[in-house]
A = this chain, B = another copy of it.
Amino acid sequence: MALNRPGPNLGKIAAAVGVSTATVSNALSGKGRVSADLVDTIRKVADELGYVPSQAGRALRTGRSGVLGLVLPDIANPLFPQIAQAMEAAASQAGYGVLIADSRGDVTTQTQAINRLIERGVDGMIIVPRRGTRIADIDCPVAVVDTPSTPGNTVSADHWGGGRQIVEHLGALGHKRLLLIGYDPASNVQNDRIGGMKSALMPDMSAETIWLKNLEQTQGAGCAMGLTGRVQQGFTAFAAVSDLHALRALTELQQAGIRVPEQVSVTGFDDLIFAPVITPALTTIHMNMATIADIAVAALARAIDATITTKPGDKTRKTGGTIVVAETSEVPMELVVRQSSGLPSILLSSQSEGTSVL
């Protein structure tokens, strides 16, 4: 049967020019020794014929597929678009394709997804881990993108530093009592963000932390957070570890008639798509995904290029489990001040109240 690809191959070009396929290959790759004008001729003919190299043939010969696997704990995560977009851009810039693997929140599914990627012959993987992810027994270079405190983390945003910035901002505005809103206490990222927030508290400031996941276990998913009570208790700022939870807090407060930012401030994390367009626009921490992706892909590419130099015939070679390291592992986050954070009502009451209505 042997289904032929529609386009021409090296042999066709070689025949057209009147040289050997090896020369064509060398000319196009610029590797061997080919005279300058022959290179030109070959390039031109290749273009005319609309030649596109067969990745399959190349992959078979070189043992490299030119494809990276992107393993995500849950594609449904609202942050995923940013990650996928940045990784795809960085990878295609570096000449790689991106194969996605979603584990839909399940560890077993994740293992299967990783195996499928290996079967597809990816040259490397970018893994955004979930607690419980088994990375050890993957036999290709792996870049781990989580948070600096995670062992083996290759590169990530400086979540701790982001937390600091948020609280420094709120502190500068004069907020004293903060409610820190996390979702999953088992998440490294969220813990780092909260940890950073706490570390930036000035002596005259205090903070309490709630974890929505725990709350939802008793009160059901999407339950109210009881923020009205918190406001009465004197909390003036609500700092969430994600814009999603910040939005949840914001709408709950608005619904209760509490004015943001006049009475209390709300801040998020990640600068999700809705952050700038809601009213009031959300003060949040922006993540420079492009930089993170560039670093991750570059580190991966280096590791992949390194494996190519291993001696041929070394069948017992174990590139396995190599978690790639990058020179920079922490990418700073950026505070984006919008309308949802402002002077706390305590301070305003000493001035004429309501002057800073949006």
Q: Which residues of B contact A314 (CB under 8 A)?
A: 4
- A3-B310, A55-B120, A61-B2 given; A78·B76 CB < 8 A: no
Q: Please, how many angstroms separate the alpha-carbon atoms of A89 and B276 in the complex?
A: 32
Cβ-defined partner of A88 (8 Å) among B5, B75, B120, B307: B75
Q: Please, how many angstroms separate the alpha-carbon atoms of A248 and B277 in the complex?
A: 6
Q: Tell me the chain A residues, 82-103 only, with Cβ under 8 Å from chain B.
A: 82, 84-85, 88-89, 92, 97-102
Q: Which residues of B contact A276 (CB under 8 A)?
A: 221-222
Q: Please, how many angstroms separate the alpha-carbon atoms of A4 and B63 in the complex?
A: 6
Indicate if the CB atoms of B6 and A317 lie closer than 8 Å: yes
Q: Name the residue of chain B whose CB is nearest to the CB of A69.
A: B97
Stoichiometry (number of copies): 2
- A64-B3, A315-B4 given; A102·B120 CB < 8 A: no
- A63-B3, A251-B279 given; A116·B97 CB < 8 A: yes
Q: Please, how many angstroms separate the alpha-carbon atoms of A224 and B307 in the complex?
A: 55
What bracket does the count of chain A residues touching chain B fall in? 35 or more
Indicate if the CB atoms of A102 and B121 lie closer than 8 Å: no
Indicate if the CB atoms of B277 and A255 lie closer than 8 Å: no
Q: Name the residue of chain B whose CB is nearest to the CB of A273.
A: B78
Indicate if the CB atoms of A76 and B273 lie closer than 8 Å: yes
Cβ-defined partner of A278 (8 Å) among B60, B62, B251: B251
Indicate if the CB atoms of B120 and A248 lie closer than 8 Å: no
Indicate if the CB atoms of A248 and B278 lie closer than 8 Å: yes
Q: Please, how many angstroms separate the alpha-carbon atoms of A43 and B117 in the complex?
A: 22
Cβ-defined partner of A82 (8 Å) among B64, B76, B315: B76
Indicate if the CB atoms of B100 and A116 lie closer than 8 Å: no
Indicate if the CB atoms of A78 and B81 lie closer than 8 Å: yes
- A2-B63, A81-B81, A100-B84 given; A255·B273 CB < 8 A: no
Q: Please, how many angstroms separate the alpha-carbon atoms of A139 and B247 in the complex?
A: 45
Indicate if the CB atoms of B273 and A54 lie closer than 8 Å: no
Indicate if the CB atoms of B57 and A319 lie closer than 8 Å: no
Listed from nearest, the 6 A-B pairs whose CB atoms lie closest are A3-B63, A56-B59, A254-B254, A75-B85, A56-B60, A251-B278
* 13 A–B contacts from the bound complex (CB under 8 Å): A2-B61, A6-B139, A6-B319, A54-B121, A70-B100, A76-B81, A77-B81, A100-B100, A221-B276, A221-B277, A224-B279, A247-B277, A247-B278
